[in-house]
Structure 1
């Protein structure tokens, strides 16, 4: 099945510091491509894979689950680690959840974590009934395109309930693994996110074991903040975070700021 225009995976061979970017649920690399390009311009080695079942048509996603999505970013991380002296992981939405699990499972092989509007659970009154509903209804309306400034996010306009059911299991798994996350963490969340509530970020911050934590509130953006008004702030905050860690500048405690 052909990949949607703009949804192609991205790779840039740069310097000794690598950054793995993980896109979100039903989305595609297009939502993170400007971020990837910003990092590439500063000579980072950048990997932005396309998750299985994504970037083509929603019917392809029915055949995949969280194990497939995680396996792809795990493979990409191992590839970067073979190439680079240090590797950072980052993600948007469920891509942030994937990045957090990579940090939990890979330990010192991950130098730091950057997450934008990370997800911690499947929301909605019917979430608890997905195990049954997925056999009765194939899809529900999509969650892509939550961008305050307008514009297009390349992704699906339908969410396969089979995939949503798998995602619910993944969220529970990662929630239990969050205490294993000890790396420096930069969490950026939108003040007007219509997909992932602020409670998800609060839950993640309360569960991780990281002592070097920065929370940034993006006042002008919705869920897909990497394509929104605060995109440049995300890019610069993540650059500052990575530069500080790779140069060894210290930081103690938790710093919550807007």
Structure 2
């Protein structure tokens, strides 16, 4: 049996226009609708495939405001067994290091965890380092950016694709992994799964309940901050080239003038 925790994130809808708050320049999550990050759906799918093959259960874990419950519900409707929602205003403004510490602490409250799966990076932050940081906090082996993952007994094997080629990696359990967009195609929640998710009530935890002291997480103690923002300039009109038999030459001359070629 393999008990798996999947780390997911509630992110702003990719199709919406994002904006930053006026006071601390953090992402204004209340200004747009949110969704479960696409890479997290693949992480959930991989966890379900592993437990379907080996037995065990899948626990969803996420940190964020009240709206995060929507992303958790989506993961539960896919077939995850239970969920933990870390919901506390004290989290606001946390950087990647603080987020990793928060999640590592929360993982310590879950009994019998053998595998933690996360996406390789979130679509809104793109730090791509949180899974590795969590592994360091918990002193666990970790393998990242996997396009293939299999669990057998007390170990895992995976494939990592890089510019230099494809590498086969191995680790003993318990371990932490991150997966990329090639890992699988996530399933659509069935009607039965959607109805079952309504009966699965996530455990809600605060920072204090995790035993984390005041000020350890949150913008006030973040190692990085944004001090100002400049709006992106409007896109200028393009240059139109009329083809009078010499269109190809004009395009080449234009590209050469822009030092593109």
Q: Same fold (TM over 0.5)?
A: no
Larger radius of gyration: 2
Which one scores higher on RCO, CA 8 angstroms, separation ≥ 6? Answer: 2
Q: Give me the TM-score of the superposition, normalised by structure 2.
A: 0.29
Structure with greater proportional strand content: 2
Q: Give me the TM-score of the superposition, normalised by structure 1.
A: 0.29
